[in-house]
Structure 1
Amino acid sequence: MNHFLKKIAIAGALTAVAASAANLPTAKEVQAKMGMGFNIGNSMEVPNNPTAWGNPFPTQALLDSVKAAGFNTVRIPCAWDSHTSGGKVTETWLDSVKTVVDYAMRAGLYTILNIHHEGEGGWFQTNIGTSVNSTVDNKMKTYWTQIANKFKNYNERLIFAGANEPGPNVNTWTAQHVSTLMHYYQTFIDAVRATGGNNATRTLIIQGLNTDIDKSVASAPVSTFPTDKVSGYLMFEVHYYDPYQYTLMTSQQDWGASEPIMPQYYYGNYQKASEPKRNAGYNAWAGSIDSKLASITHPQEQFAKMKTNYVDKGYPVIVGEFGANVRSPELSGNDLNLHKQGRVQWHKDVVSAAKQYGLTPILWDMGNESNTNYDNMAYIRRQSSPVGKVLETDVINAMRSVYNLGNYNNTGVTHVEDFITGGSEPTSSSSSATIQPESSSSTTALNMVAGTHVEFYREGNTLYGTGKIMLFDMNGNLVRASGNTAGKSTLQLQGIKQGLYIAKCGNKSLKFIAK
C-alpha cells in the first residue's frame, strides 16, 4: 500500500472510530439504569392547557422530589396536536415542553417523552384502522420531526415514545390493524432518525396493542415490528392495571354473569372473609376467588410473557403505567385501613414481578389528592403545599424495598447540568435568584432562572432587547409583545398574572417566574 493510500485508510479508520464513539448506549444498556419510574400524569398531556385538570405546571422542585423518592425514570405524557398552528407544533409549546424535560434531565432522571392521547378522541390512538390514514401518518412525521429536532443534542437519558395506548377502538386486532399501527411506528422511527445528532442512536419506544399484554403477545410478535437503521435501540411498552375490578372499576357493571360485577377492595394477604365478592380476584361466573389474581402470581405470569416474547428477543420492555385507586370514596375506618394495606402489597407485587423479569415499572400518578372522588392516584403532592411531599410513604417504601433502597428519606438531589451534548445550546441552573421589583407598589415581584444566557436582558419589571420582544405563558399563548421595532425595544411586565413565562427576542429566550 503506498503512502497516500495509507493516509486514506488511516483517515477512514479514524472516521469510523469517531462515528462509533458517537453512538449512544443501546436500549438494553439504558434500561439497565432506569430503575423504577414515575409518571407526571394529567399535566402536559391535557389538551390546550396543562393546568386545566387541576395540576399546576411541573416545577424543578417536583422533579427533584421524584428523584429523591427513589425513582430513576420519569415519563412525561404530552399533548401536541392541540398546540399546533398551520399544521405544525408551535415553537412556544416546544419551549414549554423543553422546560419540563430540562427539569427532569437536570434532576438526573431518565426521561420518556411521548405523544399521548388528547381527550377521549384524539388524532392518533383512536384512529387505528385496517389501512393507513395519510393525515395521521403526516402528523406523525411532522410532529416527531419537530420534537426530535428540538432535542437532537440531548444525551441518552432522553427517550422518545411514539404513542400511548393505541387502538382502544379496535375490538379484534387483525393483521391489517397491526400492519397499520406498525406503519405509523415506522414513520415515527424514520422521522426521528432523519434528524441526526444524538437522535441517530437514541432509544425509541413503541407500544403494544392498546398496551395490553395478552393482545400484544397474540398479535404483535417481533416479526411484525418496524425496522430501524440501527440495531438494539428499540424498546417495547405495555401497561398493567390488573385486576381491573380492583385497580380502576368504580361502579357496578353487568358483564353477562349470573350476578353483577362489583368493584373489589381487598387484595392479597388483606382480604375480607365476610365480603368475598369485594376481594380481588373474585370471579362472578365461577362464584369463587381466583387466587392468582390476588397475589404476585398474576403479574409474574404476565411479565414472564413479556420476557419470553420481547426481552429475550432483543427488545427491552417498560411497564409504562401501573397504579390503583384508593377506595376512600367508599370505605372508612378499619375497612379503609385493610384496603390500604392490601394496596401496598399490590404495588410491591407489581414492582417485584417487573424487576424479576427485567421490566421497568413506571407508576401512574394523576395528582388528584381527593378523598371523595376517584382517579385519585396521587403518590407525590402536586396540587397543594408543600409540592413534592410523598403522600403515600408506605407504597413508596414498599417499592423502594424491591430495589434495596431502604425507607424514604429526602436528602435532596445533585443536579446534572451536562445533559446536552454536541450542541451549542447552554443548560441553565435550576436555582433562582430573587429580583427586587421597581418602586411601584403595584409591580409584581419576579424571579429569574439563573444561568440563562441571553443577549437581551431584564431590569426590574422591564425587558430590554434589540428587535421585537414577545412574552409567552407555558401554554404557548402570547401574553404581550413590544412593537415591531427594528432597533432597541422594551416590554413592561407590570400586572402579569402569577406563573412561569418565556420571553423571546429574536432567537434568544429567558424564563422567569411571576410571583
Structure 2
Amino acid sequence: MSRSLGRWRGVGLVLALITGIGLTAGGAQAAPAREPVRTPAQAVAAMQPGWNLGNTFDSTGADETSWGNPRVTPELLDGIRAQGFKSIRIPVTWGQHQGPAPDYTIDPAYLERVKEVVGWALDDGFYVMLNIHHDSWQWINSMPSDHDTVLARYNAIWTQVAAAFRDASPRLVLESVNEPQFNGGDAAALLAELNTSFHRIVRGTGGGNATRLLVLPTLHTSSDQVHLDNLTATFTALNDPNLIATVHFYGYWPFSVNVAGGYRFDATAQQDLLDMFTRTHTSFVAKGIPVVIGEYGLLGFDRHTGTIEQGEKLKFFELFGAQARARNVATMLWDNGQHFDRTAGVWRDPELFAQISSSWRTRSGTAASDLVFVRRSAPVTAQTITLNLNTTGFTHVRLGNVTLRRGPDYTVSGDQLTLTAGLLSRLTKTAGYGVRASLSLRFSRGVPWRLDVVSYDTPVVTAATGTTASFAVPTAFNGDRLATMTATYADGGNAGPHGWTPYKEFDRAFAPDYAAGTIKLTPEFFAEVTDGAPVTLKFYFWSGEIVTYQVTRSGTEVTGTLAG
C-alpha cells in the first residue's frame, strides 16, 4: 500500500478556484464568477439532496425520449431545482452512440446534446454527476472474455468525455461506471483496473480535470463489506484526496419488491438499512472519504409505486433520510419518471415526496400502520395503534381542520394511541366500504402521519375458469386491501415462482384490481405451477383477514374453486 488510510482524515486539499472568464460545459462564455472553495467532504455535503435524470440519456434506444420521458429542457431542470435538489446525476449510455474500433468515436451530436444539458444544470447551480451507465451490462461485463476490446472502448469514452468537459465548473463530477458487473473472472481486479484507468485518463487531460472530484463505485455498487474493502484498496493505491465512493441502496430485497412475506418495513428490513449506513460510514466517511448513494429507492417502484403499501414505504424513506443526515452521506433519488411527472411538473405521489423532503431536514413521527380497519358487520370497539415517535413528541390528532379531543376521541399512553369506540363509530356510520375518514397524527417535528379509518368486512372470492394467459379470481374486497399471497401444494411444497418461499411476489405473480373486483394470477405464476396439481392460495389482507382459494392448471386451462 502506498500510504495509510488514516491520512484521509486530514484531507485538506481543496478544489481549484475558478476565476475570471470561464466556460460552461456547453462551451458558451460564462459570466465572471468565483466558485466557492470546498473540500471534497464539503462538496459532497453541498450535493445533498440529489436526483437522478433516469430513463433519459441512459436509455438504450434511439434518443433520450425512447424510454418514455420527454426531452430535457431548462424548464425541467428549473423545476427540479425548485423542489430543493442541489445535485443531479445524469446517467448516460454511450455504447450505441460509439463508432467502430479503433477510435470508438462518440457521435458528435450526441456528445453536444449531453454537454448542453450538463451546461444547463451547472448554470442552474446544480452539482452534476455524469457517468457511463447501462454500458456496464451491455458490453463492459464481457471484459473477462474480451479484455482488450472492452478496455479500449471504455478508455475511448472517457478520453473523449474528459476532454469535452476539461474546463467545466468543478461542480461537475465524473463517475467511472454504473453498477459494474462482470461475466466471470476476478471481478474485483477488473473493477480496480477500470477505476484506475478512468482516474489516469481524466487526470491526464489537465485543466479542471486535474483536481475534479471523481466518483468510484464498488462492485455492483453493493455495500457488502467485501466490496467496500476492495474499493478501499483502490482508494489507497490511487492516493488522491479528490475521490468519492459510491454505493446504491434499494432496501432489503424481500421488502423492496414485496416477496417472501416482506410486505412490512419490519425489524429485519430496518436493520438491513441501518447496517448499510454503518458499513459505509465506517469504511469511508469515518476515514475522510466522502460517500454519495448515487441511487436509492425501492425496486418495486420499477413496476409502479403501489407494490409496497403506502405507510410501509413512508417509514422506509423516513428512516433512510434520517440515517443519511446522521452519517453525513449525500443521496440521489432514483427517478425514471415514476416520481416527478416531467411533463406536468408535479409529483405523482405528493405525500411520498413530502416525507422524503422532510427527511432532509428532520425526523417525523410515524405509526405501526396507516390503516385502521373497522368491521361493518360487528360492534365497534376501541383500537390501539403503536406510534413510532422517532425522537419527536406526539401533540394531537386532527380530522380535516378540526382538532380532536383527548379523552372522548382518543387517549395516549407512551407510544400507544387509542382511538375510542365513540370516535370510530362516528367516523364509520355512513354506509359503504372503504376509507371513511383520514385522521392526521401530529408530532412536534416533521410531516403529519395520515391514518385512514377503513370500513370493511371479510373479502369474498368465487369460483372461476380461465387460461394460464388470463386468469383472475373474482373478489369482493369489501373495503379490504391485499397484502400478500402464498401458494402451496397438498404436500406442503411451494408452488409458483420463487420456489424457496410460499409467499409470492406482488405484481409479478399476482396483483389485485380493486376497480375490476379481481385478483389476477399472472402467466409467470402459472409457468412454474405443476400441471394437474391443485394449488392452495392464501390471500393475506391488511385487516388481518386470510381467505383461502384453490387453483388447478390443466395444460393452458385453469380452474379456480373455493377451498374446502
Give the TM-score category using the shorter length: 0.5 to 0.7
Q: Aligned pair in 2 of structure 1 residues 116, 379: CA closer, same or farther (>3 Å)?
A: same
- Structure 1 contact 128–181 (Cα < 8 Å) conserved: no
Aligned with 1:160: secondary structure? Answer: strand
Q: CA deviation at 1:21?
A: 5.0
State the match for 2:41 in structure 1.
28
Residue 122 in structure 1 maps to residue 138 in structure 2: yes
Identity of aligned residues (%): 28
State the match for 1:156 in structure 2.
170
Residue 43 in structure 1 maps to residue 56 in structure 2: yes
State the match for 2:161 in structure 1.
147
Name which of 230, 253, 257 aligns with 1:248: 257
Write the letter of the residue equivalent to 2:207: G
State the match for 1:380 in structure 2.
340
Where do 1:216-227 residues align within 5 Å? 216-217=226-227, 219-225=229-235, 227=237
Q: In structure 1, how many angstroms separate the alpha carbons of the residues matched to 2:215 and 2:265?
A: 32
Q: In structure 2, how many angstroms separate the alpha carbons of the residues matched to 1:226 and 1:123?
A: 28
Q: In structure 2, how many angstroms separate the alpha carbons of the residues matched to 1:27 and 1:323?
A: 25
Q: Aligned pair in 2 of structure 1 residues 36, 185: CA closer, same or farther (>3 Å)?
A: same
Q: Provide the TM-score with structure 1 as the length reference.
A: 0.59
State the match for 2:499 in structure 1.
none
Q: Provide the TM-score with structure 2 as the length reference.
A: 0.54
Q: In structure 1, how many angstroms separate the alpha carbons of the residues matched to 2:93 and 2:300?
A: 27
Q: In structure 1, how many angstroms separate the alpha carbons of the residues matched to 2:14 and 2:285?
A: 30
Q: Aligned pair in 2 of structure 1 residues 326, 190: CA closer, same or farther (>3 Å)?
A: closer
State the match for 2:320 in structure 1.
350
Residues 182-225 of structure 1: per-residue CA shift (max 9 Å, x gap): 11111111111111111110000011011111154465151244
Q: CA deviation at 1:350?
A: 1.3
- Structure 2 contact 143–150 (Cα < 8 Å) conserved: no
The structure with the largest strand share of the pair is: 2
Q: CA deviation at 1:161?
A: 0.2
Aligned with 1:102: secondary structure? Answer: helix
| Aligned length in residues | 332
Q: Aligned pair in 2 of structure 1 residues 66, 169: CA closer, same or farther (>3 Å)?
A: farther
State the match for 1:214 in structure 2.
224
Q: Aligned pair in 2 of structure 1 residues 242, 169: CA closer, same or farther (>3 Å)?
A: farther
Aligned with 1:220: secondary structure? Answer: helix
Q: In structure 2, how many angstroms separate the alpha carbons of the residues matched to 1:116 and 1:356?
A: 29
Aligned with 2:150: secondary structure? Answer: helix
- Structure 1 contact 179–224 (Cα < 8 Å) conserved: no
- Structure 1 contact 72–110 (Cα < 8 Å) conserved: yes
Structure 1 stretches of 4+ moved >6 Å: 17-20, 326-332, 405-408
Q: CA deviation at 1:152?
A: 1.3
Q: Aligned pair in 2 of structure 1 residues 248, 107: CA closer, same or farther (>3 Å)?
A: farther
Q: Which has the larger radius of gyration?
A: 2
Residue 305 in structure 1 maps to residue 279 in structure 2: yes
Name which of 250, 268, 280 aligns with 1:292: 268
Q: Aligned pair in 2 of structure 1 residues 330, 88: CA closer, same or farther (>3 Å)?
A: closer
Q: Aligned pair in 2 of structure 1 residues 194, 25: CA closer, same or farther (>3 Å)?
A: farther
Write the letter of the residue equivalent to 1:123: W
**Structure 2 stretches of 5 or more lacking a match?**
1-12, 19-34, 363-444, 448-564
- Structure 1 contact 265–327 (Cα < 8 Å) conserved: no
Q: Aligned pair in 2 of structure 1 residues 407, 394: CA closer, same or farther (>3 Å)?
A: farther
Q: CA deviation at 1:245?
A: 2.0
Write the letter of the residue equivalent to 2:264: Y
- Structure 2 contact 228–280 (Cα < 8 Å) conserved: no
State the match for 2:73 in structure 1.
59
**Structure 1 stretches of 5 or more lacking a match?**
1-16, 253-260, 269-290, 368-377, 409-515
Aligned with 1:358: secondary structure? Answer: coil
- Structure 2 contact 217–231 (Cα < 8 Å) conserved: no
State the match for 2:32 in structure 1.
none
State the match for 1:96 in structure 2.
113
Pairwise CA RMSD of aligned residues? 3.1
Q: Aligned pair in 2 of structure 1 residues 328, 152: CA closer, same or farther (>3 Å)?
A: closer
- Structure 2 contact 218–231 (Cα < 8 Å) conserved: no
- Structure 1 contact 300–354 (Cα < 8 Å) conserved: no
